[in-house]
Every structure is written in C-alpha cells, then in structure tokens.
Amino acid sequence: MATTEGYASRPGGAQAELLAEVNKHEAEHNLELVWAEFRNYQQGIMPAGPGARELTEFFAHVDGKLAADAPGAPKAQASDRDVLNLMTKRARTLHLGTANYCWFTDPSRALCLRLAGTPAADKPLIGMCDSARRPQATHHPCHRPVWAEHAANTRRFLGQLGPARKTEKARLRADHDRALRVLDAIDAASPDTDHQEQHADHT
Ligand code: SF4
C-alpha cells in the first residue's frame, strides 16, 4: 500500500512504472504456474474442466518438442527457444480465479464478457465465470479446497432450509451437485494424488 501510494503521488507518470512492474511480476508468476501445470501433466496429474482437453493438447505439443530436443541434437537450442516462446505465449492468456484458471485464448468464447456487454474487452471478467461450463476454464488440484468448501457449505445450507423453500432448495441442490461434479473431475484427472477429503461430501 505504502509503495503504491509512493509511486502514485510522484509526478511524471510513475504509476505507469508501477503498473509495468506489477505486470512483469504477474507475467513471471503466470509463467511459473504454466510450467508447474506442465510438470503435473508429465506426472499424470491432468487438468480438469471444460478447457482441459485443449490445455492437455498444448502440453502434449510442448512435450513432443522437448522429446525431440535430445541432448546434443543440432536443433536443440532453437527448440528450447520455441518451447519457451510457446509457454510464455500461453502464460499471457492465463487469468487466475479463486476456483479455476481461465485461458483467455479466444475472446469470442468469453461468455463473461458477452454477459457484461463488453465483448471487445481484452481481459476476462473472471469473477463472473461459471467455470464448470466455460470452454476456456480449467480446474486443478490447487482449486480442490475451494470446491470442497463450497460443496460443504451448500450442503449445510440445504440442511437448514425448511420443506417450503422449494425454489432455494432446487438452486442449492444444483449448486451442490455441480461442486461435487467438479471435485470428481479433479480427482479423476489426478488419480495418484492424495485426495484427503475425497467424497467426504457424498455422504
Ligand atoms: S467465462 Fe470464464 S473461462 Fe470464459 S473467458 Fe470468462 S473468465 Fe474465462
């Protein structure tokens, strides 16, 4: 906060400098996340969610490039650069939500922007994302706790509703079922991970 204020109060457009710094850190962080997910992929921990297939295909493509890049091969350096470019490009499309990743590769598929009436925006409105149904969204083991908590909360609220509250019950039931489906999909995509609370909410 103090740093931000310091930058902002300085005359001469220091905010732009701060913004550039923030963007740089964000870009680096996103690139780290893409590499982390790629390593997960190599260990059989796959992404889940509607955008999972596309992301898996991308990782397979990168993996193929790395495999071709045997030590000592004449094209090794060019191939390394290619891989880094691919990963950096992909990292630029990544937006982080609390419950999902959004790979904003094709703005025309961004329902959040269409719903907000800003289809030409260059960033998604991830707070409006219904990630279980959006083609650019993926779920990963790091999102599991949020979905597990959501499932537990909706279940608790359901238990508190009297029989007359049919509409709310139906809405909460749908919400609860969706959370369970997301959890199941995350677990199925990462079969060797220790899912401590796996199915805890199915009881
Ligand atoms: S609806 Fe969700 S997945 Fe689609 S662009 Fe918006 S934030 Fe990304």
Nearest CA, atom 4, ligand 1 = 110
Q: What is the pLDDT of residues 31-48, one digit of tens each?
A: 999 999 999 999 999 999
The verdict on 106 and 147 lying in the same domain is: no
The verdict on 33 and 129 lying in the same domain is: yes
SS3 for 31? helix
Q: Of all atoms in ligand 1, which is nearest to the CA of residue 107?
A: 5
Question: Residues near 191 by Cβ (< 8 Å), separated by ≥ 6?
Answer: 44
Q: Tell whether 17 is covered by a domain.
A: no
The verdict on 41 and 132 lying in the same domain is: yes
Domain residues for 196? 143-203
User: Of 92, 118, 139, which residue is a domain's last?
Assistant: 139
Q: How many domains does the chain have?
A: 2
Strand (E) or helix (H) holding 95: strand 94-96
Q: Strand 101-103 and strand 137-138: pairing?
A: antiparallel
Q: What is the structure's pLDDT at 16?
A: 82
Q: What is the structure's pLDDT at 199?
A: 47
CA of 196 relative to ligand 1 center, distance in Å: 29
In the block, tokens 């509250």 appear at 165
Could you tell which of 54, 93, 98, 104 is best to mutate to test the pocket of ligand 1, judged by most ligand atoms within 8 Å of the CB?
104
Q: Are the C-beta atoms of residues 82 and 65 closer than 8 Å to each other?
A: yes
The verdict on 97 and 170 lying in the same domain is: no
Q: What is the structure's pLDDT at 202?
A: 46
CA of 108 relative to ligand 1 center, distance in Å: 10
User: Of 122, 139, 156, which residue is a domain's last?
Assistant: 139
The verdict on 90 and 134 lying in the same domain is: yes
CA of 103 relative to ligand 1 center, distance in Å: 8
d(CA 103, CA 128): 15
Is the CB of 136 inside a 6 Å radius of any atom of ligand 1?
yes
Burial of 138 (C-beta count, 10 Å sphere; 0-12/13-18/19+): buried
Q: Tell whether 47 is covered by a domain.
A: yes
The verdict on 46 and 128 lying in the same domain is: yes
Q: What is the structure's pLDDT at 20?
A: 85
Is the CB of 189 inside a 6 Å radius of any atom of ligand 1?
no
User: Of 88, 111, 139, which residue is a domain's last?
Assistant: 139
Residues of the chain with pLDDT under 70: 1-13, 69-78, 192-203
**Residue type, position 143, single letter:** H
Take residue 44 and report the two structure tokens written for it: 């059989």
Take residue 184 and report the two structure tokens written for it: 């199941």
Q: Of all atoms in ligand 1, which is nearest to the CA of residue 102?
A: 8
d(CA 30, CA 118): 25
Q: For the chain, where are the alpha helices, taking DSSP H only?
A: 2-9, 14-42, 52-68, 76-93, 111-116, 144-160, 166-189
